[in-house]
Chains A and B, each alone.
Chain A
Amino acid sequence: MKQNWWKILGAVLVLYSIISGFIFPVPAQAILHETIRNLYFHVPMWFSMMTILGVSAVYSIKYLSNSKFDNDIVAAQAANVGMLLGILGLTTGSMWARYTWGAWWVADVKLNGVAVSMLIYLAYFILRGSIDEEQKRARISAVYNIFAFVLYIVFIMVLPRLNDSLHPGNGGNPGFNKYDLDSTMRTVFYPAVLGWILIAVWVMTLRIRTERLKRKTLFNE
């Protein structure tokens, strides 16, 4: 129980954000109306995705430096959970775009950048599936994963800021003041981000432990 405190914290924070996210007042904005509350649910998906993919990239670097197979397990499972969060982020964003921008998909730098980086990560899993030899698979996919993470950051963080974008927080230098966050919204948004990151890490550890068990039983037999 002692080492599980962060799981409880994550659960409490997300639950708090779900309840207060609907009940607390939000600034009245034209076009956005009540959909501004999506900020508490859509944006944390991307924050957790970036965190989880960052973990994945770090463990790929670790694998390349010490060739410990466990690092490959962490990197692969983290990338997997990252994709889940990305799909959730894309679908919720598409839903939000339909009723604020008027279309499910807009040919926007941010949106297309995210779509391309999702495809890059999809190729990571295809690459893993196509190599049978374990060490070779771990090494080649680790190199590819680092490359994928760098591209992901460029596509999602760098390029949208160099261009005009419909998506908030792009074009020029987005500070947090540009998010139209008032102080009430901050009290929900920050806990939501932290809570979802913790939940995502929890799901990731479950996958990692299952994969470790699988390897252990395979080796014993």
Chain B
Amino acid sequence: MNKLKHIFLFAFLLMGLSSWTQGAGEVEMADSMYQSGKIYVVVTVLAIIFVGILVYLIMLDRKIRKIEKELKNKE
């Protein structure tokens, strides 16, 4: 019984996945880009840039906090 449940679950997942990957067909989209997998290169590049900006912001935040603390100790 338990095995049957798992098979059903797997089948449902597959059905969902196949409908998810289906394109509309008429309008040309970048489907081939996904097949070649190269879109992930762009995604990674953008993610790296954003993470870089985040790290920069965090460092700026820390620097400002340090000065704030120093000024507080002086008072």
Residues of chain A touching chain B, judged by Cβ–Cβ distance below 8 Å, are 7, 11, 14-15, 18-19, 22-23, 25-30, 33-34, 199, 202-203, 206, 209-210, 213, 216-217, 220
Contact = CB atoms under 8 A, between A and B. Distances in A.
9 contacts: A25-B23, A27-B24, A28-B23, A28-B27, A206-B64, A209-B68, A213-B67, A213-B68, A213-B71
The SS class assigned to the B binding surface is helix
Given A33-B27, A210-B64, A22 B39 contact: yes
Nearest to A209: B64
A202 B57 contact: yes
Which 8 pairs between the two chains have the least Cβ-Cβ distance?
Answer: A28-B24, A28-B27, A22-B43, A209-B64, A34-B30, A18-B46, A11-B54, A28-B29
Contacts of A29: 27
Interface string B17-45: 00011011111111000000001101100
A22 B42 contact: yes
A192 to B, nearest CB: 12
Contacts of B20: 25
B59 to A, nearest CB: 11
Contacts of B60: 206
